Chain A
Amino acid sequence: MTGRERRIGVYVCHCGGNISDHVDIDQVVAAAQAETGVVVARQMMFACSDSGQGDMERDIKEQHLDGLVVASCSPKLHVVTFRGVAKRAGLNPYEYTQVNVREQASWIHSDDEQSTTDKAISLVKAGIARTRLSEPLEPLVVETTQKTLVVGGGVAGLRAAIGLADIGLGVFLVERAAELGGWVGRFDEMYPTGKNGRALIASLITEVRRRPAISVFTGAELVSKSGSFGNYRVGIRIGGSTPETLSVEVGSIIVATGFETYQPEVGEFGYGIEGVVTLPEFKEAIDHSSGPLMYHGTPVRNVVYVYCVGSRQSADTPAANAYCSRYCCAATVAASVQLASRDAQVHQYHLYRDMRTYGKFELMYTESRKLGSVYLKFADDAPPAVARDDSGRLVVTVRDLLTGGEELAIAADLVVLVTGMIPRKNEELVSVLKLPLGTDGFFNEIHPKLRPVETVVDGVYIAGTCQGPRNSSESVASGLAAVTQSAVILKKGFAELDPLVAVVDADACTACGLCLDACPYGAIEMTLGEGKSVAIISETGCKGCGGCVPVCPDNAIDLRGYTDAQISAMIDSLLEVPVA
């Protein structure tokens, strides 16, 4: 098949019994040994252990191997590990193939050892067939633009912009509203320290203005994005009487577009009745008053809070919000403390499902109880009812689980529906950035623990409440995490990308354009080449998904690392061994 005489090493891992309990490793090694081009075939207790890696490195050097196959677990776990082994031993990392005989053989066919062994042998032979045709590849190196676009001028976006400027990156800060500040800019006292939200935002804006590296656009929106990671070209439409669109180059994008609050339906827990308000409405009312709270000219003596309105909804609710909004328990408890500490006569009843005042906020919960707040727990299937009775009084009825399920009627001057956060309607931004949404409608990170602000779109980061409900300090923390991730890719001045991308054979291409539609990343463009149009795939835009390869009627596209020739060889090899 190829003129090159190969020297391949094959290593079959026991995985400490995970594989060897159900696969006869000796048979697999013997079969590998017999394959053309294989000069070393060995078994290992743990291929990923230091000694396993050391043995492979020594073989590669001493036997002058030019191909490496490890038959062990899923590539998700160890492809990077064994590419590292190759690299350290002087072998091109892309000459390495990982064969998964654990998840694909021993773990799932533990009932029949010979069939399992046969399958493992087939898989290993296919891996060897692919490796015979492997080519050395080098990572793609791209220069990066030392600028970041921040979308959203709330607390997370403002803090991120300052952080980016301070590490020497240029910043374009785009805010859709006419003013910077977002939600926090509307708040007075904020938990848990009682700091004033407006004052916090004012100080952040002062810091932003002080930094010439930050260009602020208010009343502006992101309308287009092209190019790829490290070198995006984005269009910013600036509104006003004569809207204009500005085009700028950035290396990364931080999305911090915030949240909207849940708006109850009319009739949902009495919403629509006079005296029934949402948490943001209540917060605004206490922030804009002093002394005892007044509602429509009368003092508020009894307040009833109904928690989890629009949150943790059961699956049978239409368009249910199944998630906990996380910040609302603490925000409500803080608001009740704020009210009680300036009006000792107020009576406050909190009707909750579970109090989630986690961490330090637990202290506020204790304080609120000391200030007279009463907490009543209702069952998930017996929510409270809010109505006006015959005499016109606003009454909340609830069964308190802690009072033996007694049905209680509480006369209220004000009922506060504790509403949570919902994702902002941002369809245009989603389609421009191709951001993935989670099932809850918020933007999704790659890994909630280890890659908490990165998205599947390289160089596009998410921060703050556009990612999910959280409080302002958590939003700021994620904003700064996005700053760090931007620095990681931009501060070196260049970035290395996986070379496993699709390439077009310009001679074979007939410019039919089918691949343009197949590419989910918009990485393919039709370009006028020497005398004819050809499809050109951006090496930095391509994610190596292979979606364009099968649609090409002229077989003009090949995916590096998974070429047509390699895939055909693997299929041929698999067909050689009859499956029992």
Chain B
Amino acid sequence: MTAQVDTGLLSDLQRFGAADVSACFSCGTCTATCPLVTDDATFPRRMIRYAQVGLRDKLLSSKELWTCYACSECSETCPTQAEPSEFMAAARRYAIANYDRTGLARTMYTRPFVGTFIAVALAAFFALFMYAGHGPQSVGSLNIFGFIPEELIHNLGIGVMVLVFLAGLAGVATMAHGLGRAGGITWRSVAGGRPALRRSLGALWGALAVESLGQRRYRADCDTDAARLPWFRRRWFLHAGTMWGFLGLLAATILDYGLAVVGIKATGTPVPIWYPVRLLGTVSGLLLVYGASMLILQRFRAAERSVRHSTAADWTFLALVWITGVTGFAIEIALYLPSAPAWGYWLFLFHVAVAMELVLLAPFMKFAHAVYRPVALFFLALAQVRPGESSGAADA
């Protein structure tokens, strides 16, 4: 089929970054250099070519955008300084903006001042909304739910989650439809019959557990800093720590709520540090704050090639994560101080407002990669184990 050339694609993409990519003359050194390239996923050259030539649909239905972990080895070896790694990042932003149909993501990415204003205004809105239903600030001990009713936070949170779920689902559907069509993957080939299902479950395990949670290839293949840095300063660990921390906190929050539902422990009851849910929360929080702080520091110092270019979108995401983590710890401290300090109440309001915002904006900002990347990795895993092949045969 003849593909229509979109003459405006490259200039549109360049609003998301990747200003230097027109220097690329398609030599393919980047692809040859990339430690992640396989026969089933060749990039970045092919992705850059799609962008230069104006093949918008081809670009947006490429799982390869999300199989890259931005180690920047390609930018190091590029003979024309076209910054292929930066292009891949920009193309992912472009993809997030295109999978989102509301236009909010596009605004967040292409208009940093408007985007920042939206972030601040949204946090202020959440804070004002919750403050409108506030109670007294008791002075004996810090009774945060006396100040902002738990019920209010809970309902607001449920509302935000529903919105995010719907927006995320729409984005994933758009993405999966494109990827499926490009890869010739149908419902039948994914779920039609037992062998297909078994294959799909295997791909799902590989995409979610091994690659996303386990960070296998990020750790094993994209280890360009392994020779220079100790494990706790390597990119994969900082990323994994932040991610595990976030997921741990999410789990702790849900468990805490669950304990209250089954009547074991009311939310907000002071418990000792070794109490399992609290321990999980504390350890996760430490990981999150450590990871996010180090990532911010790295970006700030721009010492590594991979973080030499930072966009407003990178800063917004890291800032929201970091603020959520650090304010959480501060509340923890305030909770155990002898008399309830007034700042503890205000900090709590701030913490909840920012956390709400972080979740609500997730589909419209860099956070969205947490969903889109596993989807792409699932399609990659499917491509690697084709019908009729066992994984053993593929290895041989």
A residues contacting B by CB (< 8 A) are 301-302, 347, 349, 366, 369-372, 374-376, 397, 400, 402-404, 406-411
Between-chain CB contacts (< 8 Å), 14 pairs? A301-B7, A347-B7, A366-B80, A369-B24, A370-B23, A372-B10, A372-B11, A372-B22, A375-B25, A400-B49, A403-B50, A408-B2, A410-B54, A411-B7
CB distance from B274 to the nearest CB of A (A): 59
Interface SS of chain A: strand
Query: When the two chains form their complex, are residues B55 and A302 in contact, meaning their CB atoms are under 8 A apart?
Result: no
Q: In the complex, what distance in Å separates the CA atom of A372 from the CA atom of B8? A: 11
Query: When the two chains form their complex, are residues A397 and B22 in contact, meaning their CB atoms are under 8 A apart?
Result: no
Q: In the complex, what distance in Å separates the CA atom of A411 from the CA atom of B7? A: 9
Q: In the complex, what distance in Å separates the CA atom of A410 from the CA atom of B46? A: 19
Chain B residues positioned under 8 Å from A301 (CB to CB)? 7
Chain A residues positioned under 8 Å from B2 (CB to CB)? 397, 407-409
Known: A402-B49, A407-B2, A411-B7. 15 other contacts (CB 8 A): A301-B7, A349-B5, A369-B23, A372-B10, A374-B54, A400-B49, A400-B53, A403-B53, A404-B46, A407-B3, A408-B4, A408-B53, A409-B2, A410-B54, A411-B5
Query: When the two chains form their complex, are residues A408 and B49 in contact, meaning their CB atoms are under 8 A apart?
Result: no
Q: In the complex, what distance in Å separates the CA atom of A346 from the CA atom of B53? A: 14
Q: In the complex, what distance in Å separates the CA atom of A301 from the CA atom of B5? A: 14
Q: Which of B10, B23, B50, B53 contacts A366 (CB 8 A)?
A: B23
Q: In the complex, what distance in Å separates the CA atom of A376 from the CA atom of B5? A: 12
Q: Which of B1, B22, B53 contacts A370 (CB 8 A)?
A: B22
Of the candidates A301, A376, A403, A411, the one having the most CB atoms from chain B within 10 angstroms of its own CB is A403
Query: When the two chains form their complex, are residues B53 and A409 in contact, meaning their CB atoms are under 8 A apart?
Result: no
Interface membership of B310, Cβ < 8 A: no
B residues contacting A by CB (< 8 A) are 1-5, 7-8, 10-11, 22-26, 46, 49-50, 52-55, 58, 80
With contact pairs A372-B10, A403-B50, A404-B46 given, residues A409 and B5 touching in the complex (Cβ less than 8 Å): yes
CB distance from B52 to the nearest CB of A (A): 5
Chain A residues positioned under 8 Å from B25 (CB to CB)? 369, 375
Chain A residues positioned under 8 Å from B53 (CB to CB)? 374, 376, 400, 403, 406, 408
Q: Which of A370, A371, A397, A408 contacts B55 (CB 8 A)?
A: A408
CB distance from B252 to the nearest CB of A (A): 48
CB distance from A293 to the nearest CB of B (A): 15
CB distance from A416 to the nearest CB of B (A): 16
CB distance from A358 to the nearest CB of B (A): 16
CB distance from A441 to the nearest CB of B (A): 35
Q: Which of A302, A403, A411 contacts B49 (CB 8 A)?
A: A403
**What residue in chain A is nearest B80 (Cβ atoms)?**
A366
Chain A residues positioned under 8 Å from B58 (CB to CB)? 406
Q: In the complex, what distance in Å separates the CA atom of A374 from the CA atom of B24? A: 10
CB distance from B27 to the nearest CB of A (A): 10
Q: In the complex, what distance in Å separates the CA atom of A301 from the CA atom of B24? A: 23
CB distance from B213 to the nearest CB of A (A): 34
Query: When the two chains form their complex, are residues B5 and A369 in contact, meaning their CB atoms are under 8 A apart?
Result: no
Q: In the complex, what distance in Å separates the CA atom of A372 from the CA atom of B58? A: 20
With contact pairs A400-B53, A403-B49, A404-B46 given, residues A409 and B7 touching in the complex (Cβ less than 8 Å): no
Query: When the two chains form their complex, are residues B22 and A403 in contact, meaning their CB atoms are under 8 A apart?
Result: no
